[in-house]
Structure 1
Amino acid sequence: MKRCKQLTACAWLLAAAMPAGAADACRGTIYLTFDTGSQSQADYIATTLNKHHVKATFFVANEKTTRGDWSLDPSWAPYWKARVAEGHAFGSHTFDHVYFKHDDAGGAIAVKPQFGASAGKMLSVTPSEYCAEIKRAGQRFEQLTGKALDPIWRAPGGKVSNRTLAAGKACGYTHFGWAPAGFSGDETSSAAFPNSVLLQRALANLKDGDIFMAHLGIWSRKDPWAPANLEPLIAGLRQKGMCFATLRDHPGMKKP
């Protein structure tokens, strides 16, 4: 290895390379989570997590990708199988990336799918139909990998109501959003919110127990978040004494 020219650079490299269990004790736990998206950063994120021995949680939906296919197509089976083998956790992000809009009269739920046969249309669905949409992602994921999803889900945009949360719970899924400090900002304009600003904000504000959220690629962001920020984020959090865990180990999973 070439000799580091700056002490800060050496510290960064050492922290980034440190396995999750290398510290004598964790001063806190951060839950890294990634939602499907354009998938443009999917390989980089997976390689980086594996390189630094970090287990994360992936929330999956069938989204259009930069490869011209869909994130839950059979063409993505090798990718998801590899992540399963690495020991990550997986939850539903609804199959068609269905946005909750508002609670309708009579117990129904107004939604707007981003993809699928009803993409861009306002729909009114029953709680059981909403539950079925959560389950669809899991059914496809199991077809691709032979692995059932963990009993967790995340609503697109994090938008929920008591009714949608109840619908998810009724079909066995616990909802997980993210902490205010855990919003990566990868959906924002890279001109208005440069990666350096997003990284500094995350390192300054993330605390024990926080859930962090980013995507496996965002169509609109010109300067991708992950290549600039993921390794420094992992290193910086480890320097603060943080360890990483999947949502399988989150206290919220232990609630009835």
Structure 2
Amino acid sequence: MLLLLLLPTTTIACPKPVYLTFDTGHMEVAPLIAETLKRHDVKVTFFAANEKTKQGDGSLGDHWAPWWKARAEEGHAFASHTWDHMYWRADLPGGRFKVRSSAGPDAGRDQTVTAAQYCEQIQRAADRLQSLTGQKPLPVFRAPGGKTSPAFLAATQACGWRHVGWAPAGFLGDELPSETYPNQTLLAKALRDIRPGDILMAHLGIWSRKDPWAPAVLEPLITGLKAKGFCFATLREHPDFK
């Protein structure tokens, strides 16, 4: 008689994780990105600001609410990108900062803010994400453009927010001009240079790029990295941000 021994299954951690993240943008390609991620069972982290969009009332507006809810149901993670997509530009005396937003009522104008005011920007986007997704966002944020200073990072961490940038190879290039950085060039560079543990960054639509990066590069990037033994995880699983 042949006896079958049933052993309990165990989950083996992937030895080559990468952490794909998306910042908001004009959102036109957001549905296609979501379809691609779902098709390949890839979970990512979305950093959201209330940016101008091609359809609707801003990337965190009511028009896009069902989209965010669906991503939460699929198991993705979320974090703040500041409400008005507020760029740090310089440190100023007295713990203040020069900033410039690309969205909101003060878009395109230099402003002076305190650390507390900047942290309010982070919190407002996080609060809106929680109301849209029913999920508490991660206690991290991404400064627009990745622009920071040591004083700025110390100030935002003091109010409870750790900054998340990206690896050098993780800059996927979707905001570069497609005339000089065509999609195939960006794909080849990413597949060549990405290493285990890298945080990757792209956008849900870039206004200036004529040949959209997503989903044209996204699908072959996912399949190419998986073929090399990589797996995808959200920043919930990242050792620095658990």
Query: Is the shorter-chain TM-score for this pair beyond 0.5, marking a shared fold?
Result: yes
Aligned pairs (5 A) from 1:154-173 = 154-173=142-161
Could you say which residue in structure 2 is the equivalent of 1:14? none
Q: Distance in 2 between matches of 1:113 and 1:82?
A: 28
Matched ranges for 1:116-135 at <5 A: 116-135=104-123
Other-structure match for 1:97: 85
AA aligned to 2:216 is A
Answering whether residue 75 of structure 2 is matched by residue 87 of structure 1, we say: yes
1:8 matched to which residue of 2? none
Cα distance change of structure 1 residues 238 and 24 upon mapping to structure 2, 3 Å threshold: farther
Matching residue of 1:112: 100
Distance in 2 between the 1:146 and 1:56 partners?
17
Aligned positions, number = 232
1:27 and 1:131 map into 2 onto residues whose CA distance is 35
Alignment partner of 1:148 out of 136, 143, 148 = 136
1:48 touches 1:231 (CA, 8 Å); kept in 2? yes
Compute the TM-score of the two structures, normalised by the length of structure 1.
Answer: 0.87
49-58 or 162-171, which deviates more: 162-171
2:218 is the alignment partner of 1:230: yes
Counterpart of 1:181 in structure 2 is 169
Shift of 1:253: 1.3
Per-residue CA deviation, residues 160-192 of structure 1 (Å, 9 max, x unaligned), is: 112221232122222111111011111011110
> Partners in 2 of 1:29 and 1:128 — Cα distance?
35
What TM-score, normalized to structure 2?
Answer: 0.92
Paired residue type of 1:245: A
Contact kept? 1:102, 1:110, Cα under 8 Å: yes
What are the equivalent positions in structure 2 for 1:36-47 lying under 5 Å apart?
Answer: 36-47=24-35
Does residue 136 of structure 1 match 2:111?
A: no
Counterpart-to-counterpart distance in 2, 1:26 and 1:147: 25
- What letter corresponds to residue 110 of structure 1 in structure 2? K
Read off the aligned partner of 2:73 and give its amino acid letter: A
Q: Which amino acid aligns with 2:83?
A: F
Report SS of the residue matched to 1:119: coil
The alignment partner of 2:21 has SS state of: strand
Task: Identify if the C-alpha distance between structure 1 residues 102 and 181 changes in structure 2 by more than 3 Å, giving closer, same or farther.
Answer: same
Compute the displacement of 1:241 (Å). 0.6
Q: In structure 2, what is the Cα distance between the partners aligned to 1:252 and 1:161?
A: 20
1:205 paired residue number: 193
Distance 1:93 1:179 in 2: 17
Aligned to 1:18: none
Cα distance, 1:143 vs. partner? Answer: 2.5
| Counterpart contact for 1:130–1:167, Cα < 8 Å | no
Question: Is structure 2 residue 77 aligned with structure 1 residue 51?
Answer: no
Q: CA deviation at 1:105?
A: 1.1
SS for the counterpart of 1:76 is helix
Q: Contact 1:97/1:114 (CA < 8 Å) preserved in 2?
A: yes
Give runs of aligned pairs for residues 9-88 of structure 1, distance below 5 A.
26-88=14-76
Counterpart in the other structure of 2:3: none
Percent sequence identity is: 58
Q: Deviations over 1:1-58 (max 9, x none)?
A: xxxxxxxxxxxxxxxxxxxxxx976341110000000111100111111110100000
Are the aligned partners of 1:61 and 1:137 in contact in 2 as well (CA < 8 Å)? yes
Richer in helix (by share): 1
* Counterpart selection for 2:232 from 216, 231, 244: 244
- Return 5+ residue gaps in structure 2 as ranges: 1-10
SS of residue matched to 2:37: helix
Structure 1 residue ranges without an equivalent (≥5):
1-22
Cα offset for 1:210?
0.3
What amino acid maps onto 2:202 in structure 1? A
1: distance between equivalents of 2:28 and 2:73?
21
Question: C-alpha root-mean-square deviation of aligned residues, in Å?
Answer: 1.4
The answer to whether the 8 Å contact 2:36/2:215 transfers is: no
